[in-house]
Each structure stands twice: as C-alpha cells, then as structure tokens.
C-alpha cells in the first residue's frame, strides 16, 4: 500500500519533469521565432499548440497511471 | 469512491441504460441547438445580434480550417463537423464550472469520462478514413505502404494511436482538473478553489481547440496531396 502511494507520486512527478522540460524548450523556441519574424506568428502558434498537445499527452499518461494507482489504495 | 466512477443509471431506453453522462450530453446538445436555432431563425442580409456572432464564428473557423488543410473544398466539407466538436467539447468542459459539478453525485462534465472522449475520437477516426477515400479513392491505400511496404505495421499502429491519444488527452486533462477542484473543495471550501477554476476556464478552451486542431490536421493529412 505504501509502495502504491509512492508509485503514484513518482508516476506523476517524473512524467511532469519530462513534459515540463520539453514544453519549455518548444515554447521558448517558438517565442524566439515569433520575436525574430512576427509575421509568421499565426503559423508558429498553430504548430506550437499541436506540439504542446503531443508533449502533454505523455504527461497525462503518467497522471492517469497515478489516478489508477491511487484508486487501488485502501 | 473515486470521482467520476458513479454508476447512476437514470432509466432504460429499451435495452440501453441511460446514465447521467448521456443526460448531460443531451442538455448540451439542446443548448447548442436552441442557440443556433435562435441565431438563424430570422436571417438577414445585414446580420444583427446573435446572427452576427455566429457568422463571425463560422467565418473564422472556415478560414482557420482552410489555412490548416490547404484545400478549400476539404475544409468546407469537414468544417461543420469540426466546429460542432469544438462547441460541444467547449461547453461540456465549461459545464464542470457550474456549482455542484464534481461534487454532487451524478453531475460531472461529460468529457471527464473516457467513454465520451473515446466516442468523439472514434468519430474522428472514421472521418479521417472517409475523407481519405473520398479524396483519393483506392489510391488512398497507397498511403499505408509508403514510403516502403516495411512501414505497414508502423503505419497501422499510428492509425490506432491517433484516436487513442485524442481520447486520453481530453479525458486526462478534464478529469485531472475536476479531481484537483474536488480535492480543493474538500480541503478549503471557500475562495481558494476559484484560482484553479479560473485556470480551468483557460484549460477547457485550450483542450477544445487542441482536439479540433488535431482532428483537422489528421483529416487534412489524409485528404491532402501528400500521397
């Protein structure tokens, strides 16, 4: 039971680290691109949203596993 | 009991049990339908009020999808479906902000249950292949063995992974957000949850946009000139 709680915490935190770093890099580069060339802002924003959605999915997988583990505690 | 796992069947429609999610969906569909009906009841050449707002939404989405899909006739064909997706997901995400949602048994936003999001994703899955076949005919099958027949298993896995990731993304986001609000309401019933609720206004809109955007780009990729 203790290990389940630990596992749930680790699942969400480790996937959060990866997703956070990835999103930071993607977002930073996108802002850089928009700052250099403001006229492509719309295209970059659309691509950025798609990319962030893909990255975020991996974090959400971790969150789901954490929920599943939490529902097993008791 | 874990939030969102309620088993509250209201009544049976023949052999099909109708639970709280289906009823909430009906309410959302009725809301969108009634507003659309009121907006288009007395259409004028120079729009006023509600019609004006709706025309702005339709024009914006048409332009947006045309830009995303490259081909205008494909975008015109699929924009109604995608815009309905957007409105439905947006309103069901926001229905979690009504006081009592995630708190009262039997009331939760429909998109926080994976059955609902998987239904939406399966609609996208079939739309993608219908769009591909109607644009390219039998030549569309070519796209599964490109760039070489060795890639066939990988391409098939990709086709299954798309709806699966759409499902999990929408469900996980909304479910997680509702869980956080439920926990906060449990620990601090006043004031504090409003911070997360304000954030969830943003999150709900972003998830609706992302689902629509990804569906549009899958349909655009299947119907496009690429293969």
Q: What is the pLDDT of residues A8-37, one digit of tens each?
A: 999 999 999 999 999 999 999 999 999 999
The answer to whether B28 touches B203, Cβ cutoff 8 Å, is no
Q: Kindly list the domain boundaries of chain A, sorted by start residue.
A: 2-73
Average pLDDT over residues B15-32: 86
Instruction: Give the ranges where chain B is alpha helix by DSSP (H).
Output: 20-40, 49-69, 72-94, 114-136, 152-187, 193-223
A2-73 topology per CATH: F1FO ATP Synthase (1.20.20)
Q: A57 to chain B nearest CA, in Å? A: 5
Has the ipTM of the complex gone over 0.90? no
Average pLDDT rounded to a whole number, residues B94-109: 76
- Return d(Cα B28, Cα B120) in angstroms, integer: 15
Contacts of A19 (CB under 8 A, 6+ apart): A55, A56, A58, A59
pLDDT higher than threshold 60 for residue B4: no
Q: Distance (Å, rounded) from C-alpha A63 to C-alpha B177?
A: 11
Structural domain boundaries in chain B: 9-223
Residue A13 touches chain B, beta carbons under 8 Å: no
Sign of CA pseudo-dihedral A33, A37, A41, A44: negative
pLDDT for B215 equals 92
Does B50 score more than 70 pLDDT? yes
Question: Which of the residues B171, B172, B183, B217 would you substitute to probe the A interface, choosing the one with the greatest number of A C-beta atoms within 10 Å?
Answer: B172
CA of B176: which chain A residue's CA is closest? A63
Angstrom distance (rounded) from CA A26 to CA A50: 11
Whether the bond into B147 is cis, omega within 30 of 0: yes
CB contact under 8 A, B217 and A64: no
Q: How far apart are CA B3 and CA B183, in angstroms?
A: 10
- Nearest Cα of chain A lies from the Cα of B203 at a distance, in angstroms, of 12
Give just the sign of the alpha carbon dihedral B210, B213, B219, B223. negative
Distance CA B74, CA A61 (A): 33
Least reliable range by pLDDT among A63-72, B41-50, B146-155? B41-50
What is the per-residue pLDDT across B182-201, written as a single tens digit (0 to 9) for each?
Answer: 778 778 878 887 888 888 88
């Amino acid at each position: 039971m203790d290990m389940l709680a630990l596992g749930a915490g680790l699942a969400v935190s480790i996937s959060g680290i990866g997703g956070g770093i990835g999103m930071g890099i993607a977002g930073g580069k996108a802002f850089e691109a928009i700052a250099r060339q403001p006229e492509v802002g719309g295209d970059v924003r659309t691509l950025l949203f798609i990319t962030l959605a893909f990255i975020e999915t991996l974090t959400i997988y971790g969150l789901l596993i954490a929920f599943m583990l939490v529902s097993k505690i008791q | 009991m874990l939030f969102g796992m309620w088993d509250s069947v209201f009544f049976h429609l023949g052999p099909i049990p109708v639970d709280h999610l289906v009823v909430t969906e009906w309410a959302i569909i009725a809301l969108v339908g009634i507003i659309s009906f009121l907006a288009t009841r007395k259409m004028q050449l120079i729009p006023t009020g509600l019609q004006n707002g709706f025309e702005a939404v339709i024009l914006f989405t048409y332009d947006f999808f045309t830009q995303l899909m490259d081909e205008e006739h494909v975008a015109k064909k699929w924009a109604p479906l995608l815009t309905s997706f957007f409105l439905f997901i947006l309103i069901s995400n926001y229905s979690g902000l009504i006081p009592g949602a995630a708190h009262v048994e039997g009331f939760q936003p429909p998109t926080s249950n994976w059955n609902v999001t998987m239904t939406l994703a399966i609609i996208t899955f079939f739309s993608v292949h219908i769009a591909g076949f109607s644009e390219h005919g039998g030549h569309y099958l070519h796209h599964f063995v490109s760039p070489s027949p060795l890639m066939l298993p990988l391409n098939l896995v990709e086709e299954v992974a798309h709806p699966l990731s759409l499902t999990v993304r929408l469900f996980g986001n909304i479910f997680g957000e509702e869980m956080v609000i439920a926990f906060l309401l449990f620990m601090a019933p006043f004031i504090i949850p409003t911070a997360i609720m304000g954030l969830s206004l943003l999150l709900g809109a972003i998830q609706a946009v992302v689902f629509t955007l990804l569906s549009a780009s899958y349909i655009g990729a299947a119907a496009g000139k690429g293969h």
